Amino acid sequence: MKAIINDVKERNIQDGFESKKIEGFTRLTTISKKTGKRVIYYATPHIMGSMWYDWSYVHFEEVTRNGKSVESFYPAKILGFIRINKNSETKVIVQCTEKPLVWSQLEKHFLMKVVLGSDDEVSIVSIPMTSLVHPLCVIPDYGGDGKSYIVVLPRRNWSRFFGNKI
Protein backbone atom coordinates (compact mmCIF):
# COMPACT_ATOMS: atom_id res chain seq x y z
CA MET A 1 0.00 0.00 0.00
CA LYS A 2 2.86 2.39 0.78
CA ALA A 3 4.25 2.01 -2.75
CA ILE A 4 0.81 2.70 -4.25
CA ILE A 5 0.32 5.77 -2.04
CA ASN A 6 3.76 7.10 -3.00
CA ASP A 7 3.00 6.53 -6.69
CA VAL A 8 -0.34 8.35 -6.42
CA LYS A 9 1.28 11.25 -4.50
CA GLU A 10 3.93 11.58 -7.21
CA ARG A 11 1.29 11.58 -9.95
CA ASN A 12 -0.83 14.16 -8.11
CA ILE A 13 2.14 16.50 -7.91
CA GLN A 14 2.82 16.07 -11.64
CA ASP A 15 -0.77 15.90 -12.96
CA GLY A 16 -2.67 18.07 -10.50
CA PHE A 17 -5.28 16.72 -8.14
CA GLU A 18 -7.78 14.59 -10.02
CA SER A 19 -9.59 11.37 -9.20
CA LYS A 20 -7.66 8.14 -9.71
CA LYS A 21 -8.89 4.62 -10.32
CA ILE A 22 -6.43 2.01 -9.10
CA GLU A 23 -6.68 -1.56 -10.38
CA GLY A 24 -4.64 -4.28 -8.69
CA PHE A 25 -3.53 -7.58 -10.22
CA THR A 26 -1.94 -10.74 -8.86
CA ARG A 27 -0.70 -12.09 -12.21
CA LEU A 28 1.18 -10.53 -15.12
CA THR A 29 1.83 -12.16 -18.48
CA THR A 30 4.54 -10.63 -20.65
CA ILE A 31 6.85 -11.57 -23.52
CA SER A 32 10.60 -11.78 -22.85
CA LYS A 33 12.58 -9.41 -25.07
CA LYS A 34 15.59 -11.70 -24.79
CA THR A 35 13.99 -15.05 -25.70
CA GLY A 36 10.61 -14.08 -27.18
CA LYS A 37 8.91 -16.55 -24.81
CA ARG A 38 5.89 -15.85 -22.64
CA VAL A 39 6.71 -15.14 -18.98
CA ILE A 40 4.09 -15.26 -16.23
CA TYR A 41 4.73 -13.58 -12.89
CA TYR A 42 2.57 -14.26 -9.82
CA ALA A 43 2.19 -12.18 -6.67
CA THR A 44 -0.56 -13.41 -4.42
CA PRO A 45 -0.96 -14.09 -0.70
CA HIS A 46 -3.25 -17.05 -1.38
CA ILE A 47 -3.20 -19.39 -4.38
CA MET A 48 -3.78 -23.11 -4.08
CA GLY A 49 -3.58 -22.83 -0.30
CA SER A 50 -0.31 -20.91 0.03
CA MET A 51 1.54 -17.69 -0.84
CA TRP A 52 3.23 -17.28 -4.21
CA TYR A 53 5.52 -14.33 -4.83
CA ASP A 54 7.79 -14.56 -7.86
CA TRP A 55 11.15 -12.83 -8.09
CA SER A 56 12.76 -10.92 -10.93
CA TYR A 57 16.11 -9.41 -11.78
CA VAL A 58 15.28 -5.68 -11.95
CA HIS A 59 17.12 -2.88 -13.75
CA PHE A 60 17.49 0.51 -12.05
CA GLU A 61 19.30 3.69 -12.96
CA GLU A 62 20.64 5.17 -9.76
CA VAL A 63 22.30 8.51 -9.11
CA THR A 64 25.42 8.45 -6.95
CA ARG A 65 26.23 11.11 -4.35
CA ASN A 66 28.38 12.98 -6.86
CA GLY A 67 25.49 13.09 -9.39
CA LYS A 68 26.74 10.35 -11.70
CA SER A 69 24.13 7.96 -13.16
CA VAL A 70 24.91 4.24 -12.84
CA GLU A 71 23.00 1.12 -13.85
CA SER A 72 22.26 -1.36 -11.08
CA PHE A 73 20.48 -4.69 -11.06
CA TYR A 74 18.68 -5.96 -7.97
CA PRO A 75 16.88 -9.19 -7.20
CA ALA A 76 13.35 -8.17 -6.25
CA LYS A 77 10.35 -9.94 -4.78
CA ILE A 78 7.23 -9.05 -6.77
CA LEU A 79 4.44 -7.92 -4.42
CA GLY A 80 1.78 -7.05 -7.00
CA PHE A 81 0.80 -5.20 -10.14
CA ILE A 82 -1.20 -1.98 -10.45
CA ARG A 83 -2.64 0.26 -13.10
CA ILE A 84 -3.63 3.80 -12.16
CA ASN A 85 -6.40 4.97 -14.48
CA LYS A 86 -7.46 2.79 -17.34
CA ASN A 87 -5.04 3.95 -20.05
CA SER A 88 -1.83 4.11 -18.03
CA GLU A 89 0.89 1.47 -18.14
CA THR A 90 0.92 -1.36 -15.64
CA LYS A 91 3.40 -0.86 -12.80
CA VAL A 92 5.04 -3.59 -10.74
CA ILE A 93 5.31 -3.25 -6.96
CA VAL A 94 8.57 -4.87 -5.81
CA GLN A 95 10.62 -5.24 -2.66
CA CYS A 96 14.30 -5.05 -3.56
CA THR A 97 17.29 -6.53 -1.82
CA GLU A 98 19.62 -4.32 0.20
CA LYS A 99 22.42 -4.55 -2.36
CA PRO A 100 22.56 -5.03 -6.12
CA LEU A 101 23.52 -8.44 -7.53
CA VAL A 102 26.33 -8.58 -10.06
CA TRP A 103 25.35 -11.24 -12.60
CA SER A 104 28.93 -12.36 -13.24
CA GLN A 105 29.27 -13.18 -9.52
CA LEU A 106 26.16 -15.39 -9.65
CA GLU A 107 27.58 -17.12 -12.74
CA LYS A 108 30.80 -17.71 -10.83
CA HIS A 109 29.31 -18.97 -7.52
CA PHE A 110 26.03 -20.63 -8.69
CA LEU A 111 24.29 -19.59 -5.42
CA MET A 112 24.32 -16.20 -3.72
CA LYS A 113 22.73 -15.05 -0.48
CA VAL A 114 20.68 -11.85 -0.61
CA VAL A 115 18.77 -9.93 2.06
CA LEU A 116 15.52 -8.06 1.43
CA GLY A 117 15.67 -4.38 2.25
CA SER A 118 14.22 -3.51 5.65
CA ASP A 119 13.55 0.20 5.00
CA ASP A 120 10.17 0.13 3.23
CA GLU A 121 10.55 3.72 2.01
CA VAL A 122 13.58 2.68 -0.06
CA SER A 123 13.15 -1.02 -0.78
CA ILE A 124 9.43 -1.18 -1.73
CA VAL A 125 8.88 0.72 -4.96
CA SER A 126 6.69 0.77 -8.04
CA ILE A 127 8.54 0.28 -11.31
CA PRO A 128 7.55 0.08 -14.98
CA MET A 129 7.19 -3.42 -16.46
CA THR A 130 10.15 -2.67 -18.73
CA SER A 131 12.45 -2.76 -15.68
CA LEU A 132 11.89 -6.51 -15.26
CA VAL A 133 14.93 -8.15 -16.86
CA HIS A 134 14.06 -11.83 -16.32
CA PRO A 135 12.61 -14.15 -13.67
CA LEU A 136 14.83 -15.50 -10.91
CA CYS A 137 14.86 -18.75 -8.95
CA VAL A 138 15.00 -17.68 -5.30
CA ILE A 139 14.56 -19.90 -2.26
CA PRO A 140 14.23 -18.89 1.40
CA ASP A 141 17.30 -19.22 3.60
CA TYR A 142 15.62 -21.42 6.17
CA GLY A 143 18.47 -20.97 8.65
CA GLY A 144 18.46 -17.21 8.18
CA ASP A 145 16.68 -14.28 9.77
CA GLY A 146 13.49 -14.40 7.68
CA LYS A 147 14.67 -11.71 5.25
CA SER A 148 17.51 -13.79 3.79
CA TYR A 149 17.13 -15.67 0.53
CA ILE A 150 19.34 -17.63 -1.85
CA VAL A 151 19.41 -16.77 -5.54
CA VAL A 152 20.13 -19.77 -7.78
CA LEU A 153 21.70 -19.47 -11.21
CA PRO A 154 18.95 -20.07 -13.80
CA ARG A 155 18.91 -23.53 -15.36
CA ARG A 156 19.70 -22.11 -18.81
CA ASN A 157 23.17 -21.20 -17.42
CA TRP A 158 23.93 -24.52 -15.69
CA SER A 159 25.68 -26.17 -18.64
CA ARG A 160 28.19 -23.33 -18.89
CA PHE A 161 28.74 -23.33 -15.10
CA PHE A 162 29.34 -27.09 -14.85
CA GLY A 163 31.26 -27.18 -18.14
CA ASN A 164 33.71 -24.67 -16.70
CA LYS A 165 34.26 -27.00 -13.71
CA ILE A 166 35.33 -29.94 -15.91
> Which pLDDT does position 23 carry in this prediction?
83
* Element spanning 77, H or E: strand 69-84
Alpha carbon separation from 23 to 51, 56, 81, 89 (Å, rounded): 20, 22, 8, 11
CA 82 to the chain's CA centroid: 14
pLDDT 10s digits, 139-157: 999 988 889 999 999 988 8
> Which pLDDT does position 24 carry in this prediction?
84
> Which pLDDT does position 17 carry in this prediction?
54
pLDDT 10s digits, 113-135: 999 998 888 899 999 999 999 99
Q: Count CB-CB contacts under 10 A for residue 48.
A: 6
Alpha carbon separation from 66 to 69, 141, 144 (Å, rounded): 9, 36, 35
Give the residue from 70, 67, 62, 74 showing the smallest Cα distance to 124: 74
Find out whether 140 and 151 touch, Cβ atoms under 8 Å: no
pLDDT 10s digits, 64-107: 888 899 999 999 999 999 887 776 788 999 999 999 999 999 99
Provide the 3-class DSSP secondary structure of residue 83. strand
Q: What residues contact residue 49 under an 8 Å CB cut-off, 6+ apart?
A: none
Alpha carbon distance 152, 150 (integer Å): 6
What ranges do the domains of the chain cover?
A: 2-103+118-133
